[in-house]
């Protein structure tokens, strides 16, 4: 973009001169060598090497946009994005403002994939020369977004049950009939359970989204599936539903066994809730020809309308709100499944027909039988 960008490892006298001017990176003790001085390269190389190990991008530019130096991180960003008009215009604006005599900062978001965000800070070094610091703030913004979503979700989802608790408590306080009191107390307990389940699921989803450390290991999916199904044995028995698990051969993935069991449990839980009494849920794990493992949970339940299929993995999206409330669903289970699949380099898909049932399949990268996860 900006003409005259030199090889960042070169011995341009302008670069050597600029190196001694960078406030905070080199002090007044740096002597400015003449272009013919054999020590010019020796003086410049340590600073270049130090800048190259930084995650921050650092570039030095003239006010006309000519870049005389860019460290490794800055070079990657400039090479990737300087053809974009938005980036070009922003850099020109930054350089103009900094050259006018003040430090200035801008944030730019670039839609992906992958989507990235950079914060650029331009500071004048001396008349006609500016240092630009480029920081990748993608992860910081993602975490901030998760925090905001968490607070908004808590506020939205807790409002209704907490309001219901207040009304039930007021009614109970004025009630004298023992039977009515028992009924109201039962409803109070139900709302408390609903709030507790929502908070638990929100906390789990937030931990997954925040990227809390996964305990990555070589995972045999057979005990993972067995654990996931065992967690829901009483729920299945209560609806007289049979849960069959089939693993045709040993299948292994690299990942967190606890998260994987949680993902499968959420799918089995949904299958049980939306299957007819006395129905069957099938859980399978197979290795495909594409070096992926497919973990599928299938039911013969009511199915999902086609209009809802694109949205069912959104947090708090419910196809049937009345039934979800009746079954104790929080609207977060499928969102948790999707994030766990993504954390493991995989994806989740759904195939469903109304009145015929649904099949949810988690695809994960497979490990060869004798490969040990690092």
Beta strands in the chain (DSSP E): 57-62, 67-70, 104-110, 116-126, 129-136, 217-220, 242-247, 252-255, 280-287, 292-299, 347-353, 357-367
Max mean pLDDT among 40-49, 81-90, 306-315 falls in 306-315
Are residues 225 and 368 located together in one domain of the fold?
A: yes
User: In this structure, is residue 5 part of a structural domain?
Assistant: no
Same domain for 146 and 36, yes or no, is no
Is residue 106 in a domain?
A: yes
Q: What are phi and psi of 7, to 5 degrees?
A: -60, 125
Predicted local distance difference test score (pLDDT) of residue 30: 28
Which range of residues forms the domain containing residue 226? 214-374
- Whether residues 196 and 265 fall in one domain: no
Cβ–Cβ < 8 Å for 47, 26 = yes
95, 125 contact by CB (below 8 A): no
Of 3-12, 286-295, 325-334, highest mean pLDDT: 286-295
Region 115-133 average pLDDT: 85
Contact indicator for 270, 333 with CB cutoff of 8 Å: yes
pLDDT at 24: 35
Q: What is the mean pLDDT of residues 331-348?
A: 90
- Please check the confidence at residue 4 and state whether its pLDDT lies above 80: no
From 136, 160, 175, give the residue that closes a domain.
Answer: 136
Rounded mean pLDDT, 102-127: 83
**CATH number where 107 lies:** 3.30.450.20
Same-domain pairing of 146 and 32: no
Domain count, the chain: 3
Half-sphere exposure of 274 (CA within 13 A, CB side): 30
**Do 176 and 228 share a domain, yes or no?**
no
- Model confidence at 230, in pLDDT bands (50, 70, 90)? very high
Considering the domain architecture, whether residues 224 and 366 belong to the same structural domain is answered as: yes
In this predicted structure, what is the pLDDT of residue 352?
A: 93
Diameter of the chain measured on Cα atoms: 101
What is the model's pLDDT at position 153? 67
Does 98 lie in the same domain as 141? no
What is the pLDDT averaged over residues 94-114?
A: 80
Q: What integer best gives the mean pLDDT of the chain?
A: 78
Residue 1 included in any domain: no
The secondary structure of 166-211 as a DSSP string is HHHHHHHHH---HHHHHHHHHHHHHHHHHHHHHHHHHHHHHHHHHT
Boundary-marking domain end, from 171, 190, 212? 212
Strand partners, 67: 61
CB 76 within 8 A of CB 135: no
* Residue 358 in domain: yes
Going by DSSP bridges, is the β-strand pair 280-287/67-70 parallel, antiparallel, or unpaired?
A: unpaired
CATH number at residue 283: 3.30.565.10
Return d(Cα 192, Cα 208) in angstroms, integer. Answer: 24
Q: What is the CATH number of the domain that holds 190?
A: 1.10.287.130
135 alpha-carbon distance from chain centroid: 19
pLDDT digits (tens, 9 = 90+) for 274-285: 899 999 999 999
Residue 26 has pLDDT above 80, yes or no: no
Looking at the structure, tell me whether residues 249 and 368 fall in a common domain.
yes
Instruction: Indicate whether 297 and 278 sit together in one domain.
Output: yes
pLDDT at 35: 36
Shared domain for 200 and 257, answered yes or no, is no
More confident of the two residues 184 and 324: 184
224 plus 240 within the same structural domain: yes
Residue 211: predicted pLDDT: 61
Is there a domain that residue 158 lies in?
A: yes
Query: 143 lies in a domain?
Result: yes
pLDDT of 267: 95
Same domain? 174 vs 219: no
Q: How far apart are CA 361 and CA 359, in angstroms?
A: 6
Q: Is residue 337 part of a domain?
A: yes
Residue 289 domain-assigned? Answer: yes
Average pLDDT value for residue range 94-111: 81
Of the listed ranges 117-126, 153-162, 200-209, 290-299, the one predicted with least confidence: 153-162
Buried b (16+ CB within 10 A) or exposed e, 134-163: bbbbbeebeeeebeeebeebeeebeeebee
């Amino acid at each position: 973009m900006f003409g005259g960008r030199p090889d960042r490892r070169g011995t341009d006298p302008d670069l050597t001169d600029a190196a001694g001017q960078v406030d905070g990176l080199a002090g007044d003790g740096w002597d400015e060598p003449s272009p013919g001085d054999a020590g010019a390269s020796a003086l410049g190389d340590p600073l270049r090497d130090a800048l190259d190990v930084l995650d921050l991008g650092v570039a030095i530019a003239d006010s006309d946009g000519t870049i005389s130096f860019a460290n490794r991180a800055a070079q990657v960003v400039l090479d990737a994005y300087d053809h974009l008009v938005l980036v070009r215009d922003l850099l020109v604006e930054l350089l103009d403002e900094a050259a006018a005599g003040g430090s200035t900062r801008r944030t730019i978001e670039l839609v992906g994939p992958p989507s990235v965000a950079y914060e650029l800070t331009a500071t004048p070094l001396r008349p006609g020369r500016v240092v630009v610091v480029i920081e990748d703030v993608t992860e910081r913004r993602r975490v901030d977004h998760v925090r905001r979503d968490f607070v908004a979700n808590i506020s939205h989802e807790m409002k209704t049950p907490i309001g219901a608790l207040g009304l039930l408590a007021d009614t109970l306080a004025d009630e004298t009939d023992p039977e009515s009191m028992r009924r109201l107390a039962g409803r109070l307990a139900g709302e408390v359970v609903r709030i507790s389940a929502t908070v638990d699921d929100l906390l789990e989803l937030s931990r997954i989204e925040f990227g809390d450390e996964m305990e990555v290991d070589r995972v045999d999916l057979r005990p993972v599936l067995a654990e996931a199904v065992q967690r829901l044995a009483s729920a299945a028995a209560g609806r007289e539903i049979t849960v069959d698990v089939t693993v045709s051969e040993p299948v292994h993935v690299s990942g967190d066994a606890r998260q994987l069991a949680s993902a499968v449990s959420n799918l089995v839980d949904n299958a049980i809730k939306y299957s007819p009494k006395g129905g069957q849920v099938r859980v399978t794990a197979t290795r495909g020809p594409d070096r992926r493992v497919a973990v599928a949970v299938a039911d013969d339940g009511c199915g999902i309308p086609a209009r809802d299929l694109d949205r069912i993995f959104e947090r708090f999206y419910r196809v049937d709100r009345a039934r979800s409330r009746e079954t104790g669903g929080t609207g977060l289970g499928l969102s948790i499944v999707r994030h766990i699949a993504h954390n493991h380099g995989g994806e989740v898909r759904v195939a469903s027909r109304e009145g015929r049932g649904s099949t949810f399949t988690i695809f994960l990268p497979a490990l060869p039988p004798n490969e040990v996860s690092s």
